[in-house]
């Protein structure tokens, strides 16, 4: 029995990765390669079957996958910064319209299509159909060079919000499974989710990072942070299940809470977690989806098949159009196509729903085929839509609207020394304020480092000069208006950490100082970081 399980696992992993490499040449999604491997080994050749041993590994793959989604794609600070703004309104409309359209098809509330789902299960399926893929959208925008433009950033921000809302809807409905759908039960489950989120957030932001730093200093054990986070992930999954929240949503929330881990800890943890997930659990998980794929959907009523294919698609398109119109955005068509992108999360959720008997094999096989259709059709359609919009204006990136997941993606392993330019000149303390204003000010920079005989003297902010009468500018040296209380960065600091510190302190420049000798080595501005970030995004995607 164990030998058969190991044979199945080995074949699925090896063939899945080989198929990924071959199909990548044709720009085919890796998820299609993984699932196709499962189809060949399972329904076609009959070599591999789903077993209890395989299910344990698949469950671990689910939790790792959703943990990485929370860690890489969703950022609470970005979400909260736009929740009161027009982007949130557009995202909410873009989710609610296809959600109601999906419910109209999957439930018997309006018309019975013969799917046999109760309202909770129908809502879960509708949530999956309403979900959008941030990864697919980011890749297309980057490939077309539109990610740094307002068009790309607006679409990116709205998809982040829409993805989080849809994931929480599906997680809520899976957690409600088995309970009577009543106001009391709904409020109880919501309270449990909120309580779990608060506890997980406090542990993940206040306790775990500090505990890791202390234990690493005391114990000096190799890969300690990797083991602690991986073990913590499984403990969070168990805690979520105990509180009535599905483990996958617990893993997602745990990843979200850890999304602002210091770069030093991320550098120690992420390579191991990502290698384990991408090399073993994720290919195995999506290959298992292919094991369940069949032509069973042909037993569904033809009207139901047509409705499931067409109605949610139209609803999603109309929802994005309406959302863009309500907030007066001129990018309704690109936004609509971007929100229709589908990715790996949908397959993962459908497999969870199948294993928990929310849906049958007939509906599962149909929905998997629909997702494959989205994988193949939507990227070129999104490309066509965004290229119809002619961009006018500067190519400047406004730091305030850069989503944090995009920053983490690009700057994950880069340090200050990678972009530090030690050649520029700096204004000195003897320079008058008038001379400084006339000759040194550049766009999008509020703060400036000032030197004295090549040594770091302090920093001057344009906002500080407002308190100095203009009549005194010609006679006042910069040394009289300096602030000597400055944040400093080291060449070994991670760019992501430095950018976060600059953001928290509203700084546009930070001096770089050798931590051992105290030597002033130069400066880094937010513009420097964001420019290199966009170059890295284009290269990595």
Counting residues of the chain whose pLDDT is more than 90, the rounded percentage is 3
Alpha carbons 78 and 423: distance in angstroms, whole number: 35
pLDDT > 70? residue 247: yes
pLDDT tens digits, one per residue of 210-235: 787 788 778 777 777 788 888 888 88
Residue with tokens 């079957």: 49
Asked whether residue 165 carries a pLDDT value surpassing 60, the answer given is: yes
Nearest Cα to Cα of residue 428 among 397, 391, 395, 453: 453
pTM > 0.85: no
Sequential DSSP letters for 253-271: HHHHHTTT--HHHHHHHHH
> What is the longest distance spanned by two Cα atoms in the chain?
88
The residue ranking higher by pLDDT, 4 or 317, is 317
Query: What distance in Å separates the CA atoms of residue 196 and residue 188, rounded to the nearest whole number?
Result: 12
Q: Which residue has the higher pLDDT, 64 or 151?
A: 64
The pair of structure tokens assigned to 50 is: 């789903």
* pLDDT tens by residue, 76-93: 555 555 555 677 888 888
CATH architecture for residues 414-540: Roll (3.10)
Phi, then psi, of 456 in degrees rounded to 5: -65, 125
CATH code of the region 28-389: 1.20.1530.20
Q: Residue ranges per domain, the chain?
A: 28-389, 414-540
pLDDT of residue 307: 92
* Mean per-residue pLDDT, 113-141: 82
More confident residue, 55 or 85: 55
- Tell me the torsion sign for CA atoms 183, 187, 188, 190: positive
Structural contact between residues 370 and 41, judged by C-beta atoms closer than 8 angstroms: no
pLDDT per residue over 478-490, tens digit each?
A: 888 888 777 888 8
**pLDDT score of 396:** 42
pLDDT digits (tens, 9 = 90+) for 500-533: 778 777 788 888 988 888 888 888 887 777 777 6
pLDDT in tens, 304-363: 999 999 998 899 889 888 888 887 776 778 888 888 888 777 887 888 888 878 888 889
Nearest-angstrom CA–CA distance, 134 and 362: 28
Model confidence at 395: pLDDT above 50: no
Contact 336, 384 (CB under 8 A): no
| Rounded-to-integer distance, Cα 526 and Cα 216, Å | 31
CB distance 67 to 73 below 8 Å: no
Look at the alpha carbons of 93, 96, 99, 100 in this order and tell me if their dihedral is positive or negative: negative
8 Å CB contact between 232 and 249: no
CA 186/CA 170 separation, integer angstroms: 14
Q: Would 28-389 and 414-540 be classified into the same CATH topology?
A: no
**In the prediction, which pLDDT does 376 show?**
77
Region 427-440: what's the mean pLDDT? 87
Query: How confident is the model over 369-382, as a mean pLDDT?
Result: 83
Q: Is the pLDDT at 404 greater than 70, yes or no? A: no
* pLDDT at residue 286 is higher than 70: yes
Helix orientation angle between 361-387 and 134-143, rounded to the nearest 10 degrees: 30
| Per-residue pLDDT at 399 exceeds 50 | no
């Amino acid at each position: 029995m164990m030998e058969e399980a190991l044979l199945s696992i080995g074949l699925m992993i090896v063939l899945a990765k080989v198929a990924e490499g071959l199909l990548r040449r044709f720009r085919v999604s890796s998820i299609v390669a993984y699932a196709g491997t499962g189809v060949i080994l399972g329904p076609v050749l009959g070599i591999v079957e789903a077993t209890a041993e395989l299910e344990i590994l698949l469950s671990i793959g689910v939790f790792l996958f959703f943990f990485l989604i929370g860690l890489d794609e969703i950022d609470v600070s970005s979400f909260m910064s736009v929740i009161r703004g027009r982007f949130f309104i557009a995202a909410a409309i873009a989710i609610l319209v296809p959600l109601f359209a999906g419910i109209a098809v999957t439930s018997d509330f309006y018309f019975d299509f013969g799917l046999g789902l109760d309202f909770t299960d129908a809502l879960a399926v509708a949530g999956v159909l309403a979900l959008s893929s941030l990864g697919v959208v980011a890749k297309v925008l980057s490939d077309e060079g539109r990610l740094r433009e307002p068009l790309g950033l607006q679409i990116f921000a709205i998809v982040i919000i829409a993805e989080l809302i849809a994931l929480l809807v599906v997680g809520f409905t899976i957690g409600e499974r088995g309970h009577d759908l009543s106001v009391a039960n709904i409020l109880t489950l919501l309270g449990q989710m909120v309580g779990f989120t608060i506890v997980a957030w406090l542990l993940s932001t206040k306790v775990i990072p500090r505990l890791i730093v202390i234990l690493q200093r005391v114990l000096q054990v190799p890969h300690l942070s990797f083991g602690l986070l991986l073990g913590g992930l499984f403990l969070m999954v168990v805690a979520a299940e105990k509180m009535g929240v599905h483990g996958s949503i617990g893993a997602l929330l745990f990843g979200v809470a850890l999304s602002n881990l210091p770069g030093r800890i991320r550098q120690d943890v992420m390579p191991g977690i990502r290698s384990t997930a991408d090399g073993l659990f994720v290919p195995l998980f999506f290959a298992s989806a292919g094991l369940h794929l069949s032509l069973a959907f042909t037993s569904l009523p033809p009207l139901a098949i047509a409705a499931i294919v067409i109605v949610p698609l139209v609803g999603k398109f109309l929802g994005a159009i309406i959302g863009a119109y309500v907030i007066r955005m001129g990018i309704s068509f690109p936004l609509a196509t971007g929100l229709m992108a589908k990715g790996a999360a949908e397959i993962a959720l459908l497999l969870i729903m199948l294993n928990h008997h929310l849906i049958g094999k007939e509906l599962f096989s149909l929905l998997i085929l629909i997702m494959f259709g989205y994988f193949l059709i939507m990227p070129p359609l999104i490309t066509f839509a965004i290229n119809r919009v002619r961009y006018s204006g500067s190519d400047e990136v406004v730091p305030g609207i850069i989503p944090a997941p995009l920053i983490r993606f690009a700057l994950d392993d880069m340090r200050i020394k990678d972009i530090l330019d030690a050649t520029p000149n700096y204004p000195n303390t003897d320079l008058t304020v008038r001379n400084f204003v006339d000759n040194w000010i550049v766009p999008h920079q509020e703060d400036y480092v000032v030197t004295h005989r090549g040594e770091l003297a302090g920093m001057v902010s344009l906002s500080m000069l407002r308190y100095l009468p203009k009549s005194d500018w010609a006679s006042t040296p910069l040394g009289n208006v300096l602030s000597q209380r400055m944040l400093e960065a080291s060449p070994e600091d991670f760019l992501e950490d430095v950018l976060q510190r600059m953001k928290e302190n509203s700084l546009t420049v930070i001096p770089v100082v050798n931590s051992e000798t105290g030597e002033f080595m130069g400066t880094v501005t937010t513009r420097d970081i964001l420019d290199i970030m966009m170059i890295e995004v284009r290269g990595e995607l």
